[in-house]
């Protein structure tokens, strides 16, 4: 007979900061088969004021400079997932609602967006998930979606991965951003879309995770072949990131160096850019980092203070984001919190500015 297994308090609290949501309601179908439904509902009220245009969450890109004073309500981070387990095989799919806006005049519809879709079998993974280069434990417990994305490896894409122990190696979807002949140079060093279909060699990622009662730290290397707009070069990047436990508190961090390009900041900079000094196309070099401290005031109250920044070598871009929050766990599944922060752009070749934000979020884990 089928039965439902309800997640525990620990799982519900972990859900609040998880980059994916595996916890949920599990139906035992018998013969080693299980079907799990999970996710969460999240409602955000966000106020942004400053020189940089409004975004539902801050990414590494520059949305443009404009006098901004805006309050916006949305439920786009809400997500649903399904996991099916059949012996050694696990299939997982998850969607959120950042796929595009609908009409805010009357219906306020938002479009669903695929986040994850993969199959696991005896250490192998095929499908779409966070890039193997992403140190998942480094993501902070933030209300702004993703926290300081500007300094993070923040990318989901199709892959074939093999993992054993703490070691993982993967071939992932290749994509070179930039290197086209732009119709106009934007603040990220390119024009038009900057995306063609020239790539024929998958991105290669290898990582090793060290785990213990003290926490987890992952070191990774990324190797890519960039082929776009007459440029045919190799690119190498490395990173280290994770979570260090300090009693009930923790420190989460990541440091990224090298030619990581599109892997950093969800659109901060292109892989290939036009050097403003020489006019030649070059592979951009990026340094990015995040640091976050989470403190548990009690079983029901917690706070996180975080900071992230990224700088580039060729275009001399400089973007940063800090935030601090206070979250109350009302029930094992329901939390409410407020977050105050600032996103700044201080690019060498362009304008500079910043916008402050305050966000109140309600989250219910399914």
For position 87, which CATH number holds?
2.40.160.10
Neighbours of 4 (CB within 10 A): 10
Residue 140: predicted pLDDT: 98
pLDDT tens-digit series, residues 90-126: 999 999 999 877 777 888 888 999 999 999 999 999 9
What's the pLDDT band for 195 if we cut at 50, 70, 90? low
Residue 169: predicted pLDDT: 99
Q: 82: part of which helix (H) or strand (E)?
A: strand 79-86
Residue 199: predicted pLDDT: 80
pLDDT tens-digit series, residues 310-345: 999 999 999 999 999 999 999 999 999 999 999 999
- Which comes out higher in pLDDT, residue 196 or 87? 87
Q: Tokens standing for 258?
A: 């090298």
Residue 260 has pLDDT above 50, yes or no: yes
Residue 104: predicted pLDDT: 78
Please give the Cα distance from 60 to 344 (Å, whole number): 10
Please give the Cα distance from 273 to 281 (Å, whole number): 5
Q: Which residues contact 260 (CB under 8 A, 6 or more apart)?
A: 133, 153, 222, 235, 237, 239, 286, 288
- What's the domain range around 284? 4-365
Please give the Cα distance from 305 to 366 (Å, whole number): 26
Residue from 95, 91, 86, 157 nearest 120 by CA: 91
What's the pLDDT band for 366 if we cut at 50, 70, 90? confident
Residue 191: predicted pLDDT: 40
Q: Report how many domains make up the chain.
A: 1
Which percentage of the chain shows pLDDT scores above 90?
76
Residue 14: predicted pLDDT: 45
pLDDT tens-digit series, residues 267-293: 898 999 999 989 899 999 999 999 999
Residue 1 has pLDDT above 80, yes or no: no
Please give the Cα distance from 110 to 103 (Å, whole number): 8
Q: What residues does 231 pair with on adjacent strands? A: 228
Q: What residues does 72 pair with on adjacent strands? A: 46
Q: Which stretches within the chain are classed as H helix? A: 9-15
Residue 113: predicted pLDDT: 95
Residue 8 has pLDDT above 80, yes or no: no
Q: Indicate the burial class of 3 (C-beta count within 10 angstroms; 0-12, 13-18, 19 or more).
A: exposed
Residue 15 has pLDDT above 60, yes or no: no
Q: 10: part of which helix (H) or strand (E)?
A: helix 9-15
Question: At which residue do the structure tokens 């004073």 appear?
Answer: 69
pLDDT tens-digit series, residues 205-237: 999 999 999 999 999 999 999 988 778 899 999
> What is the pTM (predicted TM-score) of this model?
0.89
């Amino acid at each position: 007979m089928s039965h439902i297994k309800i997640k525990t308090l620990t799982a519900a609290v972990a859900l609040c900061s998880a980059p994916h949501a595996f916890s949920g309601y599990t139906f035992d179908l018998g013969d080693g088969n299980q079907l799990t439904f999970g996710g969460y509902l999240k409602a955000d009220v966000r106020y942004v004021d400053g020189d940089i245009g409004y975004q539902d969450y801050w990414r590494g890109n520059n949305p443009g400079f404009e006098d901004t004073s805006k309050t916006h309500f949305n439920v786009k981070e809400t997500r649903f997932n399904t996991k099916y387990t059949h012996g050694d095989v696990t299939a997982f799919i998850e969607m959120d609602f950042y796929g595009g806006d609908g009409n805010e005049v009357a219906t306020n519809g938002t479009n669903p967006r695929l986040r994850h879709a993969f199959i696991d079998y005896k250490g192998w993974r095929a499908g779409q998930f966070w890039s193997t280069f992403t140190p998942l434990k480094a993501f902070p417990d933030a209300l702004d979606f993703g926290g300081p994305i500007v300094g993070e490896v923040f990318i989901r894409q199709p892959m074939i991965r093999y993992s054993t122990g703490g070691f993982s190696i993967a071939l992932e979807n290749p994509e070179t951003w930039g290197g086209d002949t732009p119709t106009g140079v934007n603040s990220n060093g390119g024009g038009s879309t900057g995306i063609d279909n020239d790539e024929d060699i998958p991105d290669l990622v290898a990582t090793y995770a060290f785990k213990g009662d003290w926490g987890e730290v992952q070191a990774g290397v990324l190797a890519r072949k960039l082929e776009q707009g007459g440029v045919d070069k190799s690119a190498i990047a490395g990173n280290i990131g994770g979570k260090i436990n300090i009693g009930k508190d923790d420190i989460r961090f990541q440091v990224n160096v090298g030619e990581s390009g599109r892997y950093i900041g969800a659109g901060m900079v292109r892989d290939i850019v036009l050097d403003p000094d020489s006019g030649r196309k070059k592979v951009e070099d990026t340094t990015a980092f995040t640091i976050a401290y989470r403190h548990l005031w009690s079983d029901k109250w917690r706070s996180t203070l975080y900071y992230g920044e990224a700088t580039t070598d060729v275009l001399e871009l400089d973007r940063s984001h800090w935030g601090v929050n206070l979250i109350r766990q009302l029930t094992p599944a329901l939390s409410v919190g407020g977050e105050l922060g600032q996103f700044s752009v201080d690019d060498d070749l362009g304008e500079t500015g910043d916008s402050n934000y305050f966000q109140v979020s309600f989250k219910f884990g399914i």
